[in-house]
Amino acid sequence: MKIARFSRVGFILAAAGSAVGLGNIWKFPYITGVNGGGAFVFAYLITVLMIGFTLMLAEMLIGYTGRKDSVTSFETLAPQQNSLWKYAGFMSLAGLFIMIFYAPVIGWTLHFIVLSAANLPSSVEMAKEHFNTLVSLDVGTQIFYHTLVFIFVTYVVAKGIKGGIEKLNYFLMPVLIVTMGSMFIYATSLDGFEKAWTFMFSPDWSKLTSASLVTAVGHAFFTLSLGMATIMTYSASLPKDSNLVRSSLIVIALDTGIALVAGLTLFTFLYEYGASPSAGPGLVFVSLPAVFYEMGSVGHLFAFVFFVALASAGLTSAVSLVEPVIQYLVDRYSFSRLKASLSAGLFFYLFGIIAILSISKEYGALFTFGSRNFFDWTDFVTASIMLPTGGLLMSLFVGHVMQEERVAKILKKQLGLFYPFWYFSLRYIVPLALVIVLLNLVGILEL
Ligand code: PFF
User: Is 430 a residue whose pLDDT tops 50?
Assistant: yes
pLDDT tens-place string over residues 167-219: 999 999 999 999 999 999 999 999 999 999 999 999 989 888 888 887 888 88
pLDDT tens-place string over residues 21-70: 999 998 999 999 989 899 999 999 999 988 999 999 999 999 999 999 99
User: Is 2 a residue whose pLDDT tops 60?
Assistant: no
pLDDT score recorded for residue 273: 85
Buried b (16+ CB within 10 A) or exposed e, 404-423: eeebeebbbebbeeebeebb
Q: Which atom of ligand 1 is nearest to the CA of 223?
A: 4
pLDDT score recorded for residue 341: 98
Q: Which residue has the higher pLDDT, 395 or 436?
A: 395
Q: Which atom of ligand 1 is nearest to the CA of 22?
A: 5
Q: Is the distance from CB of 74 to CB of 61 less than 8 angstroms? A: no
User: Is 145 a residue whose pLDDT tops 50?
Assistant: yes
**Of 22, 91, 321, which is best to mutate to test ligand 1, by the most ligand atoms within 8 angstroms of its C-beta?**
321
**Of 18, 173, 228, 230, which is best to mutate to test ligand 1, by the most ligand atoms within 8 angstroms of its C-beta?**
18
Q: How far does the centroid of ligand 1 lie from the alpha carbon of residue 321, in Å?
A: 7
Q: Which residue has the higher pLDDT, 433 or 335?
A: 335
Q: Which atom of ligand 1 is nearest to the CA of 324?
A: 13
Q: How far does the centroid of ligand 1 lie from the alpha carbon of residue 119, in Å?
A: 31
User: Is 391 a residue whose pLDDT tops 90?
Assistant: yes
Q: How far does the centroid of ligand 1 lie from the alpha carbon of residue 417, in Å?
A: 31
**Of 165, 230, 317, which is best to mutate to test ligand 1, by the most ligand atoms within 8 angstroms of its C-beta?**
317
pTM across the whole model: 0.92
Q: How confident is the model at residue 1 (pLDDT cuts 50, 70, 90)?
A: very low
Q: Is the dihedral of CA 7, 11, 12, 16 positive or negative?
A: positive
Q: How confident is the model at residue 152 (pLDDT cuts 50, 70, 90)?
A: very high
pLDDT tens-place string over residues 358-376: 999 999 899 999 889 999 9
Q: How far does the centroid of ligand 1 lie from the alpha carbon of residue 16, in Å?
A: 10
pLDDT score recorded for residue 445: 53
Q: How far does the centroid of ligand 1 lie from the alpha carbon of residue 69, in Å?
A: 18
Domains belonging to the chain, first-starting first, are 8-441 (1.10.4160)
pLDDT score recorded for residue 443: 64
**Of 223, 231, 387, which is best to mutate to test ligand 1, by the most ligand atoms within 8 angstroms of its C-beta?**
223
Q: How far apart are CA 43 and CA 381, in angstroms?
A: 21
User: Is 123 a residue whose pLDDT tops 90?
Assistant: no
Q: How far does the centroid of ligand 1 lie from the alpha carbon of residue 294, in Å?
A: 32
Q: Which atom of ligand 1 is nearest to the CA of 228?
A: 13
**Atom 13 (ligand 1) nearest CA:** 225
- Count of beta carbons in the 10 Å neighbourhood of residue 356: 27
Q: How far does the centroid of ligand 1 lie from the alpha carbon of residue 400, in Å?
A: 27
Q: How confident is the model at residue 282 (pLDDT cuts 50, 70, 90)?
A: confident
Q: How far does the centroid of ligand 1 lie from the alpha carbon of residue 224, in Å?
A: 6
User: Is 3 a residue whose pLDDT tops 80?
Assistant: no
Backbone φ, ψ for residue 368 (5° rounding):
-110, 125
Q: Is the distance from CB of 362 to CB of 139 less than 8 angstroms? A: yes
312's enclosing H/E stretch is: helix 297-333
Q: Is the distance from CB of 250 to CB of 257 less than 8 angstroms? A: no
- Count of beta carbons in the 10 Å neighbourhood of residue 249: 14
**Atom 10 (ligand 1) nearest CA:** 225
Rounded percentage of the chain residues whose pLDDT exceeds 90: 72
What letter represents residue 272's amino acid? E
Q: Which atom of ligand 1 is nearest to the CA of 255?
A: 4
Q: How far does the centroid of ligand 1 lie from the alpha carbon of residue 441, in Å?
A: 21
The per-residue pLDDT of the chain, averaged, comes to 92
Q: How far does the centroid of ligand 1 lie from the alpha carbon of residue 53, in Å?
A: 15
User: Is 446 a residue whose pLDDT tops 60?
Assistant: no
Q: Is the distance from CB of 212 to CB of 204 less than 8 angstroms? A: no
Show contacts of 78-87: CB within 8 Å, 24+ apart. 78/397, 78/401, 78/402, 79/401, 79/402, 79/403, 82/401, 85/397, 85/401
Q: Which atom of ligand 1 is nearest to the CA of 95?
A: 13
Q: How far does the centroid of ligand 1 lie from the alpha carbon of residue 319, in Å?
A: 10
Q: How far does the centroid of ligand 1 lie from the alpha carbon of residue 189, in Å?
A: 31
- Ligand 1-lining residues (CB < 6 angstroms): 18-19, 21-24, 95, 98, 222-223, 225, 228, 230, 317, 320-321
Among 230-234, 281-285, 405-409, the minimum mean pLDDT is found in 281-285
Q: How far does the centroid of ligand 1 lie from the alpha carbon of residue 19, in Å?
A: 5
What is the rounded average pLDDT of the residues 276-292? 84
User: Is 408 a residue whose pLDDT tops 80?
Assistant: yes
Q: Which atom of ligand 1 is nearest to the CA of 318?
A: 8
